[in-house]
Structure 1
Amino acid sequence: MKKILIIKHGALGDVILSMYSVFAIWKHFKDYEISVLTESKYKELFQCLPFIKNIKIDNRPKFYYFLKYIKIFKWFYKSDFEWVFDLQTSKRTNLYFSILSLFKNFNWNGIAKNCSHPHLSLNRKKLHTIERQKDQLRAAGISKTFNPDWNYFKSKISKFTIKKPYAILVPGGSKHRKNKRWDFKNFLEIIKFLEKKNIISVLVGGHDEKDIFQNKKKYNSVVNLIGKTNYSDLAYLSSRAKLILGNDTGPMHLLVACSNDKIDKIVLFGEASDPTLCAPIGKNVIIVKENNIKDIMTENIKNLINKKKL
């Protein structure tokens, strides 16, 4: 059987956005065996997709860990891929092409110099991630686009017992980019606001964000799941939520993608990122942006919620 390799590292949000391209590649090459080269933290995510046959872990090694690189290169050589789709398009993956192409002939779709199917658009850095990758795939002859089937990512049952109705709040974000976080006191105000509407607030986030919410005894309407969910849990919870509100962070992309189309998804942006390039995609996604994310007013968010008449 002919083989394809898809390369994707990076931030969770970018990985979620790349699923549009992953599904397009699969639909175009139905008879091929597809492997993914990614980081260990995304193994569980790609395992949700039954058409991904192999997942090779490629965590970012230090430059002097040359043995790890050699192992990856040996694996690549033995795998005999006909196509490689570089959805990361980084200096690191360009280096992979430069070295691997010395020993193997294969089709490479990306931006590496001298690759067989390069994405040459001068506008690529000004395009939203999804549009940029669609344009890249067209260079490889993949013109049809497909929406991912997000049901693959959802748990069949939930391990959490949460009374309905509930809203999902995402108050955290990268610990290295605190300027992407709306002040948590604002989320607390929204929690009180939702409580008056008899809506439970479900807080989600990563393990390193557990210290965000420390006053749970004061808020009976809060279910604190920060650090307790996996990808499938988030997908399941979002599909039953009445509202999703959060910062521009990786889990927000998955929540938006797997949610009910009819509910509002409010995503908060500051100057740290540009929603025209990386915003979550879906129906009823509301982007709220200020140069300083702290300038986003809680009253504005309340008004948006009130318009939906929850």
Structure 2
Amino acid sequence: MTMTSGPETPVAQPVLPALPGIDPAARVLVIKHSAFGDVILALGPMKAIRLAHPLGRVTLLTTKPYAGLLEASGLFDEIWIDDRPRLFQLGAIGRLRRRLNDAGFDRVYDLQTSDRSSRYYRLFRKPRPDWSGIAPGCSHPHANPGRDHMHTVERQAEQLAMAGIPRVPAPDLSFLRADLTSFDLPMRFALLVPGGAAHRPGKRWPPQQYAETARLLADQGIVPILLGTRAEADAIRAVTAAEPRAMSFEGRTSFAEIAALARRAAVAVGNDTGPMHLIAAVGCPSLSLFSAESDPVLTRPRGPRASWLRADRLADLPVSDVSKAIRRLLDL
């Protein structure tokens, strides 16, 4: 188990002295498509880019699920939705090419660094804008052959350092606020996140273990609250059926409401899934559970009181180990 830190900071953007080689008034494009946890981890780099170009126009190219969240961050002047056209959709690719070139970007920060986003480099006419990423031939490559073995936070910080931005702050989620009066919350509660990607069941701790954990929490006067979408209803309902003192917020919470709940929760336990990144980033004492299907060294949530446990098969992770880790977090 490890603990990491990353204090929250105000969302206001101070105008800092220009960095060497950085045009503070540049027209900038930031590319970040998904997934939810990666978007949360990228908020620090996004803020660093905004601070580096305080007088410029910063545009974000993202996917629809995260547009509202990232617009609320206040870090961007404009947000474009990328429909991610396939290679055979020549008309859609042509429209994207025209839009990219007509915007007159001076610099691009590719925080997705996927095959797709790297291909976008070739959509620009020559001379192409300065480009931070891994696209072959780009002006500011992240030239570290070990980049795939770095945690996302350190990898993106090093990428930006190689592009002339030496400091990356922790993710700032102070913009995510919500009124929780309609939830009728108990005095003391814990958040449980038993869901995750449906196509990767090996990343889920079994519902019966969550139910036993919920019982142990309830016995201590800490009401378990289950979070998740309608697609995760089976896991959530299995827990609430086994432990009737648990509450289900299935399908009821926005990103802002999850953040607000996390700020008030005594502790949170969940699988390696996006909401745990948000919960950890706002400072909730949190425990993320990993199987052999993902590596916490590379992808774990970061936050001032974030921790993790890993078992090759999550079904083999004992409730006693999780309970011990929860007690440690409650004692912080």
Matching residue of 1:303? 324
Q: Which has the higher contact order (CA 8 A, sep 6+)?
A: 2
Given the superposition, is the C-alpha separation of residues 88 and 114 from structure 1 closer, same or farther in structure 2, using an over 3 Å criterion?
same
Equivalence for 1:30:
54
In structure 2, do the counterparts of structure 1 residues 62 and 98 end up closer, same or farther at CA, with 3 Å as the change threshold? closer
Per-residue deviation, residues 219-274 of structure 1 (Å, max 9, x unmatched):
442221122211111111101000010001011101110134xxx31110110001
For residues 33-72 of structure 1, what are the structure 2 equivalents within 5 Å?
Answer: 33-72=57-96
Which letter maps to 2:215?
K
Which residue does the alignment assign to 2:9? none
Distance 1:52 1:199 in 2: 39
Q: 2:208 aligns with which of 177, 185, 208?
A: 185
Is the 2:30–2:111 contact (alpha carbons within 8 Å) kept by the matching residues of 1?
yes
TM-score, scaled relative to structure 2: 0.87
Q: What pairs up with 1:37-186 in 2 under 5 angstroms?
A: 37-100=61-124, 102-103=125-126, 105-155=128-178, 159-186=182-209
214-223 vs 74-83, greater mean Cα deviation: 214-223
Mapped partners of 1:87, 1:309: distance in 2: 37
**Structure 1 vs Structure 2: percent identity of aligned residues?**
32
TM-score scaled to structure 1, two decimals? 0.93
Cα contact 2:43–2:172 (8 A) shared by 1: no
The question of 1:21 aligning with 2:45 is answered yes
Alignment of 1:267-282 (within 5 A): 267-282=288-303
What residue identity is the alignment partner of 1:271?
A
- Could you tell me which of 219, 233, 239 is aligned with 1:210? 233
Aligned residues: 306
SS in 1 for 2:174: helix
* Contact 1:207-1:228 at 8 Å conserved across structures: no
The corresponding residue for 1:224 is 248
Letter in 1 for 2:139: S
Aligned to 2:14: none
* CA-to-aligned-CA distance 1:115-169 (integer Å, 9 cap, x gap): 1111111111111001000110011100022123211123255542211201000
Amino acid corresponding to residue 230 of structure 2 in structure 1: H
Q: 2:175 is paired with a residue of what secondary structure?
A: helix
CA distance 1:217–1:287, shift in 2 (3 Å): closer
**Local SS of the residue matching 2:301:** coil
The amino acid of 1:298's aligned partner reads V
Q: Secondary structure at the match of 1:301?
A: helix
Are the aligned partners of 1:158 and 1:233 in contact in 2 as well (CA < 8 Å)?
no
Task: Give the equivalent residue in structure 2 for 1:238.
Answer: 262
Q: Distance in 1 between matches of 2:127 and 2:229?
A: 40
Following superposition, the deviation at residue 297 of structure 1 comes to 0.3
CA distance in 1 between partners of 2:159 and 2:182 (Å):
40
CA-based RMSD of the aligned residues comes to 1.8
Residue 174 of structure 1 and its aligned partner are, at CA, apart by 0.4
